[in-house]
Structure 1
Amino acid sequence: MDIGKRRWRWAFTLLAILLGIASRASGAPEQSLVERIEALQAGYPVQVLGDPILARQTLQRFYENRGYRLAWVRESRRQALADAIERLPRDGLNPADYHGELLQELVRRPEATLSEELIADRDLLFTDAFLLAGSHLADGKVNPESIHAEWTLTGRKTDIVPLLSRALDTGTLAQTLDDLRPRNADYLKLVQARERLSRLLGQPWLPIPDGPSIRPGDTDTRLPVIHQRLIALEDLSASASTASDLYDGELEAALPDFQARHGLEPDGIIGRQTLDALNRMPVERIRQIDASLERWRWLPRSLGDTYVLVNIAGFRLQMVKKGREVLHSRVIVGRPYRQTPVFSDRIRYLVFNPTWTVPRKLMVEDQLPEIRRDPGYLDRLGIEVFEGWGADRRKVDPRSVDWAALSKNHFPYQLVQGPGPQNALGRIKFMFPNRYDVYLHDTPGRYLFGRQERTFSSGCIRVEKPFELADQLLANGMDWSRQRIDVLVATGETTTVVLPLPIPIHIQYWTAWVDEQGRLQFRDDIYHRDGRLLNELRHSALADGQLPTPVVVSHASTAERRIHKTH
């Protein structure tokens, strides 16, 4: 080929590229996009550059709204999204689930080296990445109903499509994704704690050997390593000495704090449980944080101006007004085989001096064996026996009942405990009617609040400070005082008080959180729920590489489909 022909060929190629760019800039529909959207509409899986398109319906709607025009024509927009996706680990999300590596490769590839079809493929990938990431940040990646069968909160379903359109127009892609995260301060503090803990990844973390318990004043060869571990975990000052085999000084002050924030008895004794907590790998703690972050994303954008929050795994209750905690209390939750459910509702009324109608399951599984063993059981606890239900029920003498002949399939009675100091509900209960028959209440078993792990109930939540909680609830626009509450309780009469404005209550399950003092707290996974959630959270449809056939793939060349390997 002579020089003249070669020049004409290069000129023609350059002209074609320029005409293609001009066509895309003019707003004309992109045929390659149309073909792929048609495949999605027909129900076919679409795979682009080796990755499946997952945000199928929202992606179709996005391109329909913009007349099938390319969206990611500006390099700055693509770079902004690729960088934002790389920052997702701080929220416990994996960039690989959002085409992370492929986006970075496409950002680095010169525009002039891409075919028209590959540019369309790139557009789909960037759109899919934003829609997926935005949805997961706003509403969570995992369907909570797949983890908690009892979940009843109607989760918000954020419409990401108009947000993406506006972000592309205004160049605010990173800010838009950031705004989709929960704005609750507790979520943001947990994100920051995760970032700090992530710095320990890759550092040596050899297990501290078992041995005799170490008490203040003891000497032990393990103490230098324990010093170093507590410094790494920020429980001990970085300037603290790590050479001493003696348990004294700063270590003696730091150990109880470490124990307390891990849900252990803060006795300062380095025993088996404390060593287990010290030996827990940073990656394990980060996974706990990731599970908690995902659970935060399941919650409403706003918990309410005033609300009650119960953390089952943390055995704690908080009441918050206008962003400020006004009450915290220890609680007792359900046993592992009678777990307290996760749900949100509204506290609607309070009952003072309540009666307790024993739930049928408890009657046949718990009370019936006790009655058979102890004839005076019912009288001692003030429990009356009724035959039938509703207005037609009648009181019967418990001595006339053949308790030995009863069973779970034959139990035509109700057991009702009257008001009094022995009542299982104590002197007050907080009602938010729900299908689990779960509520908050007082309890006569006050000594159980002194235990570190408090799984003793049959599903309801026993509150250590019930009257303080009642005082806060009734102070919300009502003419009540603590003195008036005490007078009402002293009458012994069952009284219902309806709240003029129901107060939101959120019963949740977090094994990691940051407390009001900024300390990162961890608790045992008492119901073994984190593992299943983390498995779902780590699951990646992109990594599976398995799609049902037929599969519509990119029309780009083999070399282009391997761009991330060859560039």
Structure 2
Amino acid sequence: MRLTFRFPFRATVFSAACALGLAVALPASAQTQVTAFKQAVAEAASVDADVAAFYRQRDYSPLWTAEGEEARARRAALLDALSGASVHGLPEGRYGIETLKAQMAAVRTTRDLGQVEVALSRAFVTYAKDVQTGLLTPSKVDEDIKRDVPLHDRTGYLTEFSQANPQSYLRALPPVTAEYRALMKEKLRFEHLIALGGWGATVSGGKLEPGDEGPAVIALRNRLVTMGYLERSATRVYDKTLEQAVRKFQFAHGLLADGVAGDGTLSEINTPAEERLKSIIVAMERERWLNHERGERHILVNQTDFTAKIIDHGRVTFQTRSVVGMNVHDRRSPEFSDEMEHMIINPSWHVPRSIVVKEYLPKLRSNPGAAGHLIITDSRGRRVNRADADFSQYTGNSFPFDMRQPPGNGNALGLVKFMFPNRYNIYLHDTPQKHLFKREVRAFSHGCIRLAEPFEFAYALLAAQSDDPQGLFHSILKTGRETKVELEKHVPVHIIYRTAFADDRGRAEFRRDVYGRDARIWAALSRAGVALGPVQG
């Protein structure tokens, strides 16, 4: 893309002189133009402290509007990037590209030139931040998104860009993960699919299962063919092939893969392609929030998928089912990142204050022997004799005791917990309630993450520091004593929430929006100008 602009003659002289470092030797008329340009830049930049700081550092010399190939390449690279913002699920209108083009074409005075210079810089830093670390501020969308986004210094963007190859710098801003690349491709695929009419007619009626036939079965068959889960077929019967296609769909959507198209499965099958595209765009925004080094080995908990994984060098080396927080206020599992430092084998459960006063104190008021599996202690750690205590005199604010469940098979934390100390008091742990892992939707905890295979999870972590991780674990377990085991190398933990993510082939899988967070994110993106527009040519 070659862009030419009608700059004033004297501005051209000034630009060339600046490039040669000859400003002090210019004739008075040219020097006046230099001063006027600097004043125009200073004035235009005064509304943006970061941009103003950048220009002060370079004595207000131009980044974009100088004569020559270098400045032209910067302008071309920026306008090209802004024109392609929608590829990243960003709103092109946010960057005012048409206004920028019109402003550049209308330059007649040195003042005009200075205003264009600053306008380009402001568009650049806005786009750079959006495409690298996201358009939204997570905590403003949902208070349970506690993620610390790795924001970059805005002045730094301009300084780095001034010293870099323009196209290479802009290409390097978005996440370079395989996940982000796959989501971009899936976004384009779904846009084409929607332009062609989507997945066709929805499946009406109730539950469908093997042996059924009729119009609803035909609609199910056609929809699964369009979705790519079934080869083209003329069958009118819910046969083995159709059953297998339903299983594939269920597996790719986190459903119980029983091959029966019940209400839950049909609800997911009938979800429009447009809604799936929204999930993909939201997932891209979420990927930008996590645009930093995640650790060669790290733990990834996807709340909507109800799984916990250990990732080594980009490959899943261990995976287990999980249970997350209930979908009620103050029990939803938050999203954040931290580092796992140790595990505790044979843990005690120190009951959180919120649970003590909301769940146990009302019971103790009417029956001092309630919750007998818990030990009540005073502020000095001494055990309280329930028979001598009058719990009826206490309120939630005045209750002075702690409650603890000692180690054992019935402990609420099971036999091991995995600690990454954080202000939210969230950790991963075992549980005696194994039956919950058979559920399709597993949101039952008070906020912490329960693991279906905690022992195996421990073995995988200890394998990095022991030749016999299983033996080490069980030698401690059989003592029955609460024991802290340090991880010699801390492991990053990322608790995320993705209703769309790529499988091993790069195709999108989808999950239910169990907390409604992604719906809120999409609403915020939509208010910011993101839309499900036509496919770009």
* Range into which the TM-score falls when normalised by the shorter chain: 0.7 to 0.9
User: In the TM superposition, what is the alpha-carbon distance from 1:303 to its structure 2 partner?
Assistant: 0.7
Matched, 1:298 2:292: no
Task: Give the length in aligned residue pairs.
Answer: 503
Counterpart residue type for residue 341 of structure 1? P
Change (3 A) 1:185 1:343: same
Counterpart residue type for residue 474 of structure 2? D
Q: Alignment RMSD, CA only?
A: 3.0
Please give the alpha-carbon distance, in whole angstroms, between the structure 1 residues aligned to 2:363 and 2:201.
Answer: 47
User: In the TM superposition, what is the alpha-carbon distance from 1:167 to its structure 2 partner?
Assistant: 4.5
Q: State the match for 1:550 in structure 2.
A: none
What secondary structure, in the 3-state scheme, does the structure 2 residue paired with 1:459 have? coil
Matched, 1:451 2:439: yes
User: In the TM superposition, what is the alpha-carbon distance from 1:144 to its structure 2 partner?
Assistant: 2.0
What secondary structure, in the 3-state scheme, does the structure 2 residue paired with 1:200 have? helix
What secondary structure, in the 3-state scheme, does the structure 2 residue paired with 1:222 have? helix
CA contact (8 A) 2:254 2:510 kept: yes
Please give the alpha-carbon distance, in whole angstroms, between the structure 2 residues aligned to 1:23 and 1:36.
Answer: 14
Please give the alpha-carbon distance, in whole angstroms, between the structure 2 residues aligned to 1:400 and 1:139.
Answer: 58
Please give the alpha-carbon distance, in whole angstroms, between the structure 2 residues aligned to 1:204 and 1:308.
Answer: 39
User: In the TM superposition, what is the alpha-carbon distance from 1:448 to its structure 2 partner?
Assistant: 0.3
Structure 1 residues 304-341: Cα deviation after superposition (integer angstroms, max 9, x where no partner): 12211111222111111222221111111111121111
CA contact (8 A) 1:425 1:442 kept: yes
Match of 1:138 among 104, 123, 132: 132
Change (3 A) 1:542 1:300: closer
User: In the TM superposition, what is the alpha-carbon distance from 1:369 to its structure 2 partner?
Assistant: 4.9
What secondary structure, in the 3-state scheme, does the structure 2 residue paired with 1:189 have? helix
Q: State the match for 1:10 in structure 2.
A: none
Counterpart residue type for residue 93 of structure 2? A
Counterpart residue type for residue 289 of structure 1? I
What secondary structure, in the 3-state scheme, does the structure 2 residue paired with 1:210 have? coil
CA contact (8 A) 1:194 1:286 kept: yes
Please give the alpha-carbon distance, in whole angstroms, between the structure 1 residues aligned to 2:401 and 2:7.
Answer: 87
Change (3 A) 1:135 1:515: same
CA contact (8 A) 1:331 1:463 kept: yes
What secondary structure, in the 3-state scheme, does the structure 2 residue paired with 1:24 have? helix
Please give the alpha-carbon distance, in whole angstroms, between the structure 2 residues aligned to 1:514 and 1:223.
Answer: 29
Q: State the match for 2:120 in structure 1.
A: 126
Counterpart residue type for residue 137 of structure 1? V
Which aligned pairs between 1:380-529 and structure 2 lie closer than 5 A?
Answer: 382-386=373-377, 388-389=378-379, 392-403=380-391, 406-478=394-466, 480-529=468-517
More off after superposition, 291-300 vs 472-481? 472-481
CA contact (8 A) 1:183 1:301 kept: no
Q: State the match for 1:271 in structure 2.
A: 262
Counterpart residue type for residue 226 of structure 1? L
CA contact (8 A) 1:261 1:519 kept: no
Match of 1:345 among 338, 344, 349: 338
Q: State the match for 2:314 in structure 1.
A: 323
Counterpart residue type for residue 339 of structure 1? R
Matched, 1:64 2:66: no
Please give the alpha-carbon distance, in whole angstroms, between the structure 2 residues aligned to 1:368 and 1:160.
Answer: 51
User: In the TM superposition, what is the alpha-carbon distance from 1:210 to its structure 2 partner?
Assistant: 2.8
Q: State the match for 2:26 in structure 1.
A: none
Q: State the match for 2:535 in structure 1.
A: none
User: In the TM superposition, what is the alpha-carbon distance from 1:101 to its structure 2 partner?
Assistant: 3.6
What secondary structure, in the 3-state scheme, does the structure 2 residue paired with 1:21 have? helix
User: In the TM superposition, what is the alpha-carbon distance from 1:68 to its structure 2 partner?
Assistant: 2.7
User: In the TM superposition, what is the alpha-carbon distance from 1:482 to its structure 2 partner?
Assistant: 0.4
User: In the TM superposition, what is the alpha-carbon distance from 1:466 to its structure 2 partner?
Assistant: 1.1
User: In the TM superposition, what is the alpha-carbon distance from 1:127 to its structure 2 partner?
Assistant: 2.4
Please give the alpha-carbon distance, in whole angstroms, between the structure 2 residues aligned to 1:409 and 1:127.
Answer: 54
More off after superposition, 435-444 vs 513-522? 513-522
What secondary structure, in the 3-state scheme, does the structure 2 residue paired with 1:201 have? helix
Change (3 A) 1:448 1:291: same
Please give the alpha-carbon distance, in whole angstroms, between the structure 2 residues aligned to 1:542 and 1:208.
Answer: 27
Relative CO higher for 1 or 2, CA cutoff 8 Å, sep ≥ 6?
1
Provide the identity percentage.
Answer: 32
Change (3 A) 1:75 1:429: same
CA contact (8 A) 2:138 2:147 kept: no
User: In the TM superposition, what is the alpha-carbon distance from 1:528 to its structure 2 partner?
Assistant: 1.6
Runs (5+) with no aligned partner, structure 1: 1-14, 44-55, 544-567
User: In the TM superposition, what is the alpha-carbon distance from 1:169 to its structure 2 partner?
Assistant: 5.9
Structure 1 residues 353-372: Cα deviation after superposition (integer angstroms, max 9, x where no partner): 11112112212222345567
Please give the alpha-carbon distance, in whole angstroms, between the structure 2 residues aligned to 1:162 and 1:363.
Answer: 49
Matched, 1:183 2:176: yes
Please give the alpha-carbon distance, in whole angstroms, between the structure 1 residues aligned to 2:269 and 2:170.
Answer: 36
Please give the alpha-carbon distance, in whole angstroms, between the structure 1 residues aligned to 2:439 and 2:97.
Answer: 46
CA contact (8 A) 1:30 1:70 kept: no
What secondary structure, in the 3-state scheme, does the structure 2 residue paired with 1:68 have? coil
Please give the alpha-carbon distance, in whole angstroms, between the structure 1 residues aligned to 2:256 and 2:431.
Answer: 23
CA contact (8 A) 1:30 1:68 kept: no
CA contact (8 A) 2:144 2:332 kept: no
User: In the TM superposition, what is the alpha-carbon distance from 1:375 to its structure 2 partner?
Assistant: 7.8
User: In the TM superposition, what is the alpha-carbon distance from 1:62 to its structure 2 partner?
Assistant: 3.4
User: In the TM superposition, what is the alpha-carbon distance from 1:437 to its structure 2 partner?
Assistant: 1.4
Structure 1 residues 338-389: Cα deviation after superposition (integer angstroms, max 9, x where no partner): 111112111111111111121122122223455678887534xx32222x12
Matched, 1:21 2:12: yes
Runs (5+) with no aligned partner, structure 2: 1-5, 24-33, 66-70, 532-537
Q: State the match for 1:558 in structure 2.
A: none
Structure 1 residues 62-88: Cα deviation after superposition (integer angstroms, max 9, x where no partner): 333443333334544433322222222
Please give the alpha-carbon distance, in whole angstroms, between the structure 1 residues aligned to 2:42 and 2:242.
Answer: 63
More off after superposition, 146-155 vs 433-442? 146-155
Please give the alpha-carbon distance, in whole angstroms, between the structure 1 residues aligned to 2:64 and 2:97.
Answer: 16
Q: State the match for 1:38 in structure 2.
A: 43
Match of 1:335 among 326, 330, 343: 326
User: In the TM superposition, what is the alpha-carbon distance from 1:250 to its structure 2 partner?
Assistant: 3.6
Change (3 A) 1:118 1:542: farther
Change (3 A) 1:279 1:152: closer
Please give the alpha-carbon distance, in whole angstroms, between the structure 2 residues aligned to 1:536 and 1:24.
Answer: 42
Q: State the match for 1:283 in structure 2.
A: 274
Please give the alpha-carbon distance, in whole angstroms, between the structure 2 residues aligned to 1:500 and 1:169.
Answer: 41
CA contact (8 A) 1:163 1:176 kept: no
Which aligned pairs between 1:5-20 and structure 2 lie closer than 5 A?
Answer: 18-20=9-11
Which aligned pairs between 1:218-257 and structure 2 lie closer than 5 A?
Answer: 218-237=212-231, 240-241=232-233, 243-257=234-248
Please give the alpha-carbon distance, in whole angstroms, between the structure 2 residues aligned to 1:235 and 1:34.
Answer: 63
Change (3 A) 1:327 1:59: same
Match of 1:200 among 193, 215, 228: 193
Matched, 1:88 2:89: no
